[in-house]
């Protein structure tokens, strides 16, 4: 038999070459069965119907032969059958019904990305689970700021080094899929050992997608999170997808994925809004710049619309986040104060706005306006301004674009104009070239300002950064300096003088030990209050009766009014927000607005997916039939020409 097209058709060598037989139509012939004669090849066929010749078996012969065939009972391997039932081929796997576990490391920007990806997947029909072992797929959203964060990420993958090849094909104009073909044995990950599919997101794979431990795994870039459904769907099917492109409009880099995407807020009372991505600095130690790139800001009207939508869904606190909020708008001809004045106009009474991290160079230009905004009753008097070092020599090596005097000028001005303001800062211990004198300057700065919130980081050389190539401070010295600075930080208690004060606090969370609710006062200082369910999401008046290093404890005033700042009832935990008509049409269904739309969306999206798959099936069948007919016509033409 001459096999053609991988077994779909076979041609008998002893019959006329133009006669094609479907292989699946062939049946076993019993020993006593009359064999079917073949058509003669000596006569040229004028018509395809002439294939049925006088030598072909007659219906009565075929009927008689059928009676002589005794079926043989074939033993079925029950275990193998059950295994095949439980693990169908990848092509028959229906995406959109699996459970997905999402783990996020890093900053609030990363957390916002994770919430957006969870919302889109849930809206499409996937179930977001908090139990990793129950999940069919793990979505790991990484952080590249420090070595420990990436180590945790790597340990969740924990790959074996294997030799793999790669083949690329395009799913669409912008989506490149890379399927890793086996050469030795398939690499295993911690997720794969538990029979999990895996998708990687965040700054680590975006900055270094070719690392060995990422081979063979699906990756979605930080600017492509609006296409997470596509990446997950292909991964569920068994493909390895890498989508790392930059979003642009007429050649201009955009801030990232649209802000009106569905999301599942980790805390239904807190909305995290990324106002821009990337930054203008080129710090020699920073790996995040490699992933997030240069500054790209969202337009003011889009950010305001997102804030409005959040308050309509019961949010009572908004966090603005980015790699550098102070640089906002420089790429689109506006500024951070311009955005903030627009935002405070739409914040309901009692709800609050928290500003994110800003580097000193960009806040210097707006000190007067920023002081006015931070005094607004609906804006926390809180600002995170990283100093990193109090040595100008070290700051120059870091390429921080400011000196210690600039930092002090910002802090002194805000402390004077915004009484009680909380200034949080970051410090890196053991940067390459840091001398003991440099470090002592940093210690003096902390002793002078007694920062209530201080993030102390031991320096870690990040691969690919200029600082990684510099002469390193010995590891033991870095550890000792980190301990010494931590000892200075813990030598003072910033809240002792506030015991006995009466404060308004906004309750938004539960404490880690589940013994208290967590609230924040006007200066974004943490206040623990009793676990009264009526307090959650409310503005409460309390008397401070105790203080610790990082918190205060407050007793609600008995006759005080509990104020509800939200204009709507908050969404339930795990509920999808932001289900716009545009997104619904993208899913291919027409849903009506409901207070709990998730189940309806799953049904509608599943129906639309089935329709799309049926359409694709029909298209595939039509294509195969067309190819088959074309091949048949070519064969006929060839043999007619030969016999003529």
Lowest mean pLDDT among 330-339, 384-393, 527-536, 616-625: 616-625
Mean pLDDT of all residues in 532-547: 94
Winning range, highest mean pLDDT, from 54-58, 100-104, 480-484: 480-484
Kindly report, residue by residue over 312-349, the tens digit of the pLDDT.
Answer: 999 999 999 998 999 999 999 999 999 999 999 999 98
pLDDT at 194: 62
Residues in the chain: 644
pLDDT at 5: 44
Lowest mean pLDDT among 425-439, 481-495, 581-595: 581-595
pTM of the model: 0.72
How do beta strands 176-182 and 127-129 pair? Answer: unpaired
DSSP string, 110-129: HHHHHHHHHHHHHHHTPEEE
321's tokens:
């986040």
pLDDT at 558: 87
Q: Coil, helix or strand for 333? A: coil
Mean pLDDT of all residues in 74-103: 64
Is residue 283 within 8 Å of residue 432, measured between CB atoms?
A: no
Q: Which of 397, 546, 407 is nearest to 469 (CA)?
A: 397
Q: Return the DSSP state at 341.
A: H
Identify which has the larger pLDDT, 418 or 191.
418
How do beta strands 502-510 and 539-547 pair? Answer: antiparallel
Lowest mean pLDDT among 59-68, 106-115, 403-412, 481-490: 59-68
Residues 6+ apart with CB under 8 A from 297: 255, 275, 276, 328, 329, 330, 331, 332, 334
Q: Radius of gyration (Cα) for the chain, nearest Å?
A: 33
Q: Which of 113, 136, 275 is nearest to 198 (CA)?
A: 136
Phi, psi of 180 (to 5 degrees): -90, 120
At residue 30 the predicted structure's pLDDT band, cuts being 50, 70 and 90, is very low
Q: Coil, helix or strand for 352? A: strand
| Percent of the chain clearing pLDDT 90 (strictly above) | 48
Q: Coil, helix or strand for 153? A: helix
Residues 6+ apart with CB under 8 A from 161: 187, 212
- Check pLDDT > 70 for residue 493: yes
pLDDT at 209: 78
Is residue 63 within 8 Å of residue 80, measured between CB atoms?
A: no
Identify which has the larger pLDDT, 354 or 622.
354
37's tokens:
């004669």
Is residue 100 within 8 Å of residue 126, measured between CB atoms?
A: yes
84 membership: H or E segment, kind and range? helix 78-86
Q: Is 175 exposed, middle or buried (0-12, 13-18, 19+ CB in 10 A)?
A: middle
Distance between first and last Cα of the chain: 26
How do beta strands 176-182 and 164-170 pair? Answer: antiparallel
pLDDT at 450: 97
At residue 639 the predicted structure's pLDDT band, cuts being 50, 70 and 90, is low
Lowest mean pLDDT among 22-26, 207-211, 240-244: 22-26
- Check pLDDT > 50 for residue 190: yes
Kindly report, residue by residue over 592-615, the tens digit of the pLDDT.
Answer: 333 333 333 333 444 334 433 444
Nearest-angstrom CA–CA distance, 102 and 117: 9
pLDDT at 388: 96
How do beta strands 422-429 and 317-321 pair? Answer: unpaired
Q: Is 127 exposed, middle or buried (0-12, 13-18, 19+ CB in 10 A)?
A: middle
Kindly report, residue by residue over 457-479, the tens digit of the pLDDT.
Answer: 999 998 889 999 999 999 999 99
| Number of C-beta neighbours around residue 441 at 10 A | 17
Mean pLDDT of the chain: 78
pLDDT at 165: 35
pLDDT at 626: 66
């Amino acid at each position: 038999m001459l096999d053609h097209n991988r077994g779909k058709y076979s041609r008998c060598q002893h019959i006329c070459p133009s006669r094609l037989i479907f292989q699946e139509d062939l049946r076993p012939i019993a020993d006593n069965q009359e064999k079917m004669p073949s058509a003669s090849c000596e006569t040229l066929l004028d018509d395809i119907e002439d294939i049925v010749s006088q030598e072909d078996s007659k219906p009565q012969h075929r009927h008689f032969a059928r009676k002589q065939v005794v079926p043989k009972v074939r033993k079925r391997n029950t275990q193998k059958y059950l295994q095949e039932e439980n693990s169908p081929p990848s092509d028959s796997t229906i995406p959109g019904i699996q459970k997905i576990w999402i783990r996020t490391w890093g900053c609030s920007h990363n957390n916002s990305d994770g919430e957006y990806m969870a919302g889109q997947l849930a809206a499409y029909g996937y179930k977001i689970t908090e139990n990793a072992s129950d999940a069919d797929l793990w979505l790991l959203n990484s952080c590249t700021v420090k070595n420990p964060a990436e180590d945790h990420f790597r340990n969740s993958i924990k790959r074996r080094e294997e030799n793999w090849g790669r083949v690329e094909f395009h799913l669409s104009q912008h989506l490149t899929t890379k399927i890793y073909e086996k050469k030795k044995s398939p690499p295993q990950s911690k997720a794969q050992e538990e029979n999990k599919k895996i998708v990687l997101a965040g700054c680590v794979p975006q900055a270094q997608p070719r690392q060995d431990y990422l081979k063979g795994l699906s990756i979605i870039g930080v600017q492509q999170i609006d296409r997470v459904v596509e990446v997950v769907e292909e991964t569920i099917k068994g493909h390895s997808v890498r989508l790392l492109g930059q979003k642009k409009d007429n050649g201009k880099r955009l801030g990232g994925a649209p802000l009106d995407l569905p999301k599942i807020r980790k805390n239904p009372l807190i909305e995290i809004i990324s106002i821009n991505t990337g930054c203008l600095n080129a710090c020699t130690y920073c790996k995040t710049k490699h992933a997030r790139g240069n500054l790209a800001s969202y337009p003011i009207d889009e950010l305001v619309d997102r804030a409005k939508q959040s308050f309509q869904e019961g949010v009572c606190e908004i966090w603005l986040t980015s790699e550098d909020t102070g640089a906002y708008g420089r790429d689109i001809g506006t500024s951070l104060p311009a955005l903030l004045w627009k935002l405070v106009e739409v914040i309901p009474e009692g709800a609050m706005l928290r500003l994110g991290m800003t580097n000193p160079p960009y806040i210097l230009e707006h000190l007067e306006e920023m002081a006015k905004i931070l005094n607004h009753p609906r804006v926390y008097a809180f600002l995170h301004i990283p100093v990193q070092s109090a040595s100008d020599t070290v700051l120059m090596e870091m390429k921080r674009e400011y000196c210690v005097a600039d930092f002090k000028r910002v802090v002194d001005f805000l402390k004077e104009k915004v009484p009680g303001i909380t200034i949080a800062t970051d410090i890196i211990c053991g940067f390459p070239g840091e001398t003991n004198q440099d470090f002592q300057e940093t210690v003096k700065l902390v002793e002078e300002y007694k920062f209530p919130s201080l993030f102390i980081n031991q320096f870690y050389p990040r691969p690919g950064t200029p600082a990684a190539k510099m002469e390193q401070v010995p590891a033991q010295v870095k550890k000792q300096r980190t301990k010494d600075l931590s000892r200075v930080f813990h030598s003072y208690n910033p809240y002792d003088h506030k015991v006995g004060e009466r404060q308004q606090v906004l309750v938004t969370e539960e404490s880690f030990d589940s013994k208290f609710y967590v609230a924040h006062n006007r200066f974004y200082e943490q206040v623990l209050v009793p676990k009264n369910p009526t307090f959650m999401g409310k503005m409460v008046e309390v008397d401070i009766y105790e203080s610790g290093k990082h918190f205060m404890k407050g007793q609600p005033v008995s006759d005080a009014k509990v104020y509800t700042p939200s204009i709507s009832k908050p969404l339930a935990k795990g509920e999808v927000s932001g289900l716009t008509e545009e997104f619904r049409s993208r899913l291919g269904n027409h849903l009506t607005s409901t207070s709990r739309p998730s189940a309806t969306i799953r049904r509608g999206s599943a129906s639309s997916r089935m329709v799309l798959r049926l359409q694709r099936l029909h298209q595939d069948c039509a294509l195969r039939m067309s190819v088959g007919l074309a091949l048949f016509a070519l064969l006929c033409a060839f043999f007619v020409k030969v016999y003529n």
